[in-house]
Copies of this chain bind each other. A is one copy, B any other.
C-alpha cells in the first residue's frame, strides 16, 4: 500500500482493511475448550495482514448502492475467510510447500499439517455460515444469492479447479511443455479470478442491483484480476522476499508458466496497463462514485508488494 497512486485510495484501503480486521476478529471463534488449537489456527490464518483486496472490492462495490457498511464488511470478511483458507491449503507440503506467508510462518509451520487442513476446512464452513446469516442481509434471497455465488467461485469450476490445473501444469512442465497463453489465462480466471470477480459482484448482490450492474462489476473485477496477477508475476520476477513477505522467484524455479515468462516483462506491463484502462472505463456509468474502484485498478499494477 506504500505507493498507492491516490491518497484517497490509500486512506480508504487503510480504513477498510482495519474494519475488515475487526470484523474477522469478531466473527472468528474465540479459542476455547478442546478446539482451542483449531480456533487459534483459524485466527492465525486470517488475522494480522494482507491487502484485503477482496473485501475492499466487496465494500467499495456495495458503497455504490448505499449498502450499510455493517453488511458489506460481513460479506467481505466471509470472502476473505474463503481466500485465507485457500492460501493455507495451497501452502501445504503436498501442494506448493511454502514456509512463509505474509512475512510469517505458514499455518502448517506455525502449527502442524493437521491444523492447517482443519483450519482451512473450518474457515470455508464459517464463510458460508456468515453469508447465510440475517445480519449479513435480512432478505433470504440475497443470502442464498451470496452463498450460491461464493460456492461457484470457490468450487471445482472456480478456485479449487484453478489450483488443480496449476498443480497438473507443474507436473506437466517437469515433463516438457509449460502452459501457453490461453491456458495460463484460464488458470488465472479460475484460481484467483473467480473469487475476485465474485468479491465485486457481492457488493452488487448486497445492493440488490440488477443483472446489468452485476455484470459490469464482475467484468471490471475480471480485468482487475488479470492485471493483479500479471503484476504479481512481475513482482515475483523482480521483487525481494523482504518486500513481498514470501519466497520469490519460486514460480519460475518451479517451472510454472507465468504471464511474465510468456510475454516478457515489457509486454506484460503493457498488457496490465491495458487491462487497468479497460477496468476503469467499465465503471464510467457509475460516475464519480466509482473513483475509488478506478483508483484501485491503477493501484494493483503499481503496488510494490
Q: Point out residues on A near B: beta carbons under 8 Å.
A: 29, 34-35, 37-39, 42, 85-86, 89, 92, 94-95, 112-115, 117-118, 120-122, 124-126, 128-129, 131-133, 139-141, 143-145, 147-148, 150-152, 154-158, 160-161, 163-165, 167-169, 183, 186-187
Contacts and interface: CB of A to CB of B under 8 A. Distances in A.
Nearest to A129: B151
B35 A157 contact: yes
Contacts of A121: 85-86, 89, 120-121, 124, 154, 160
For A113, A151, A169, the residue with the greatest tally of chain B CB atoms inside 10 Å of its CB is A151
27 contacts: A34-B164, A34-B169, A34-B187, A35-B157, A35-B165, A37-B168, A89-B117, A94-B112, A114-B167, A118-B160, A118-B164, A118-B167, A121-B154, A124-B124, A125-B160, A126-B155, A126-B156, A129-B151, A129-B155, A132-B148, A132-B151, A133-B148, A139-B140, A140-B140, A140-B141, A140-B143, A140-B145
A115 B115 CA distance: 18
A139 B139 CA distance: 11
Nearest to A179: B34
Given A38-B160, A147-B128, A155 B122 contact: yes
Given A132-B144, A155-B122, A156-B126, A168 B34 contact: yes
A184 to B, nearest CB: 11
Interface of chain A: mostly helix, strand, loop or mixed: helix
Contacts of A115: 164
Contacts of A38: 156, 160-161, 164
A224 to B, nearest CB: 23
B122 A94 contact: no
Given A34-B168, A129-B147, 7 more contacts: A34-B164, A34-B165, A37-B168, A115-B164, A121-B154, A125-B151, A129-B148
Contacts of A85: 121
For A125, A140, A157, the residue with the greatest tally of chain B CB atoms inside 10 Å of its CB is A125
A22 B268 CA distance: 47
A124 to B, nearest CB: 5
Contacts of A165: 34-35
A155 B125 contact: yes
Contact of A118 (B131, B144, B163, B187): B163
Contacts of A124: 121, 124-125
Given A118-B160, A141-B140, A34 B125 contact: no
Nearest to A160: B122
Contacts of A147: 128-129, 131-132, 143-144, 147
A85 to B, nearest CB: 8
Contacts of A122: 155-156, 160-161
Contacts of A144: 132, 140, 143-144, 147
A117 B143 contact: no
